[in-house]
Copies of this chain bind each other. A is one copy, B any other.
Amino acid sequence: MLPLSERGLTLPPSPYRKLTPFAEAARRRGLTVHPLNIGQPDIETPPQMLAAVQQADIRVLEYGPTAGTDSYRQVLADYYQQQGLKVAADDILVTAGGSEAISFALLACLNPGDEFIVPEPFYGPYAGFAVATGTHLVPVASYLADDFALPPISEFEAKITPRTRAILICSPNNPTGYVYSRAELEQLRDLCLRHNLYLLSDEAYREFCYDGRFTSALELAGAEQHVVLLDTISKRYSACGARIGALVTKNQALRDVVFKLAQLRVCPPGLGQLLAQAAADLPADYFDYTKAEYLARRDLMVRRLRAMPGVRCPLPRGAFYVLCHLPVDDAGRFCQWLLEEFDLNGETLMASPAAGFYATAELGRQQVRLAYVIHHDLINRAMDCLEMALHQYPGRQND
List chain A positions with a Cβ less than 8 A from chain B: 1-9, 11-14, 17, 38, 40-45, 50, 53-56, 58-64, 66, 96-97, 99-100, 103, 107-112, 114, 125, 128-129, 132, 134, 165, 196-198, 225-226, 234, 238-243, 251, 253-254, 257-258, 260-261, 263-272, 275
Contact = CB atoms under 8 A, between A and B. Distances in A.
Contacts of A4: 108-109, 253-254, 257
Contacts of A11: 257, 260-261
Contacts of A109: 2, 4-5, 8
A263 B53 contact: no
Contacts of A50: 58, 61
6 contacts: A2-B226, A5-B108, A5-B111, A7-B107, A96-B265, A132-B264
A97 B265 contact: yes
Contact of A111 (B6, B38, B261): B6
Given A2-B198, A5-B107, A5-B111, A128 B264 contact: yes
Contacts of A45: 58-61
Contacts of A41: 60
A109 B112 CA distance: 17
Q: Name the residue in A50, A242, A269 with the highest tally of chain B Cβ atoms < 10 Å from its Cβ.
A: A269
A270 B243 contact: yes
A257 B8 contact: yes
A61 B8 CA distance: 30
Contact of A128 (B8, B97, B134, B260): B260
Given A96-B96, A266-B97, A271 B62 contact: no
A56 to B, nearest CB: 8
Contacts of A240: 61-63, 266
A2 B254 contact: yes
B111 A265 contact: no
B264 A129 contact: yes
Contacts of A272: 269-272
A58 B253 CA distance: 40
Contacts of A239: 61
Contacts of A100: 265
A233 to B, nearest CB: 10
Give me the 8 closest cross-chain CB pairs, A-B, nearest first: A241-B270, A8-B257, A271-B271, A269-B269, A14-B263, A99-B265, A61-B241, A8-B108
A38 B125 CA distance: 35
A55 B58 contact: no
A62 B234 CA distance: 9
Given A5-B111, A59-B44, A267 B241 contact: yes
Given A4-B109, A5-B108, A45-B59, A242 B254 contact: no
Given A41-B60, A225-B2, A265-B100, A132 B112 contact: no
Contacts of A60: 41-45, 238
B243 A132 contact: no
Contact of A61 (B2, B55, B129, B242): B242
Contact of A2 (B114, B243, B251, B263): B251
B2 A196 contact: yes
Contact of A125 (B64, B234, B264): B264
A61 to B, nearest CB: 4
A266 B61 contact: no
